[in-house]
Structure 1
């Protein structure tokens, strides 16, 4: 029986590590592109660089600690005597704190975007800001007894506590719901402005802003929905217990979700920052009209495309313009 449990745990760890490395690779590529774009712009906005470099450091540290924790878990599986349970408990605490810190930076970017999209009206973001502070502060405070709790509850192969009072599930649920609110507010604002822009630019603006709405949903709401789904699955596990093949599948999803949380948050943030840096985001109607005129005027300009066919060429940098 122990052999079967160990084999299942090894499979969960391998699957979780593979998915985490895959999303971290995507995030690293987007981080490199984003840094290059910002540095190439004439007007370098260094607060963007500070945000993405801070986020990159936190996410990379979280991934590194996950790899170290995996090595310690494998060592414990083969009865290595040098491993200390207290050391692994502190490692689990550090991983969770890095995860919450990375989430805090990414959610701050989403909160800032909601604030700018709504014309810098602080009244709009008061409630999400309170929830934002409450969620992340609660995560850090509840994480204090995590080392002792790991010994008392069920522990996944990656060291994340699953069972009893699951701190990760509580924080994930609160953060996911708050992010869903923010993303919905951004999407609603873009939808509203897209209709108002038709009086300035006519039907030409309609398709572009439908695409912008889709981008907002895919970058913000998809991430938020993923975190919320992670929370509901964990609640289900707490109610039915950690037994059976179905539980093994859900355990795997939870472990993968906790590992990919930070890279997904980074991907969402990078997309938002790149769109703003390229000038294809918007803050108000007047500014968007100017941006739209520039976009429409540039449609006839010859540019380079990696997918050349005949004389047609377009700039591959429009990967972040998401034109329909």
Structure 2
């Protein structure tokens, strides 16, 4: 296996992170514009989205400062490699602190999303919460070893890093499965009685699975490169590329989810025009006697003379704890088809 030295890894990783940060900035700005002009977002999601962007920006700023120090203010290649390998430098410790904080915040967001989808059942998210707590402890202990009076070694840091990466990967897979499975179970009962709901719920499930799969692949690569780098058998430092990329991915993935939902909501013709949140449907939203098609929360047309059931809004909408679990309402044998009013919420709890 060819060598991949640490200075080259930092250079490649910083360049890739800069590209992702530019993409992230555009997505973040567009998402904020849509939220504040055309929709609403849960305060938890809005706070997390802004915090993740701030953390990603601070991380890449420190990365650029470290590149300048390493490539401009060193006299030789050996000095440069020694500089980048010195994990005890304050700027490196600060970068790692931002990285781990972004990791914990990103995992906390998907756990919160799962909690909302499961109608705030703490028992369901008890294990994921413990897992996030465990990865936080492992990550910050690893940083603490860099600051200890005794110089940290690979053998002392590797167990904590392995624990953090593996637990984070398991948390991502578990929570994504719980969230997508819950939506599928609710829509399963709904689809037996009402037409058109399957497409909308399938879009929600696909969105969650694809986002979870993207993070899972990234974390698998990160875990593998970490094990190779700390094995000590080859000089393969590709892990530092992932260290630079991951803070951007932690923010890009949930931002893309929010943006996807906001675009679907704001493109709907069923919402009134004007300033402020588009949260009121036009008159005659179900198209009675008119046959005019409606637009679902994901921008798909549905028959005008049929009541609309939005599995996404009924499941994710957290309107003061008053959301209705549609599947349980339609599950009984003697229940009649309810005359449901469409909830025109844009409280996108998917991200």
Change (3 A) 1:27 1:169: farther
Higher helix residue share: 1
- Structure 2 distance, partners of 1:64, 1:46, is 27
- Structure 2 distance, partners of 1:84, 1:225, is 27
Q: How many residues align?
A: 272
Is 2:199 the partner of 1:216? Answer: no
Q: Where do residues 19-34 of structure 1 align in structure 2 (5 Å cutoff)?
A: 19-34=16-31
Is 2:105 the partner of 1:113? Answer: no
User: 1:66 aligns to what?
Assistant: 63
Is 2:87 the partner of 1:102? Answer: no
Q: Is the 8 A contact 1:173 1:232 kept in 2?
A: no
Change (3 A) 1:76 1:177: farther
The structure having more radius of gyration, on CA atoms, is: 2
Structure 1 residue 128, shift from structure 2 partner = 0.4
Q: Deviations over 1:33-52 (max 9, x none)?
A: 11111111364644433222
Judge which range, 215-224 or 139-148, deviates more.
139-148
User: 2:130 aligns to what?
Assistant: 130
User: 1:190 aligns to what?
Assistant: 183
Aligned equivalent of 2:246, options 250, 261, 265: 261
Give the structure-2-normalised TM-score: 0.66
Structure 1 residue 77, shift from structure 2 partner = 3.9
User: 1:181 aligns to what?
Assistant: 174
Structure 1 residue 56, shift from structure 2 partner = 1.1
Q: Where do residues 280-299 of structure 1 align in structure 2 (5 Å cutoff)?
A: 295=296, 299=300
Q: Deviations over 1:161-199 (max 9, x none)?
A: x77633544322221211111112112222223322212
Q: Is the 8 A contact 1:117 1:186 kept in 2?
A: yes
Structure 1 residue 15, shift from structure 2 partner = 1.8
Q: Deviations over 1:120-177 (max 9, x none)?
A: 2111001101111121133113311214699664xxxxxxxx7763354432222121
Q: Deviations over 1:234-256 (max 9, x none)?
A: 224444x342xxx53xx22x121
- Structure 1 distance, partners of 2:42, 2:117, is 18
Give the structure-1-normalised TM-score: 0.71
Q: Where do residues 129-148 of structure 1 align in structure 2 (5 Å cutoff)?
A: 129-147=129-147
Q: Could you say what the CA RMSD is over the residues aligned between the two structures, in angstroms?
A: 3.7
Aligned equivalent of 1:17, options 14, 17, 28: 14
Q: Any stretches of 5+ residues in structure 1 without a counterpart?
A: 154-161, 281-289, 302-319
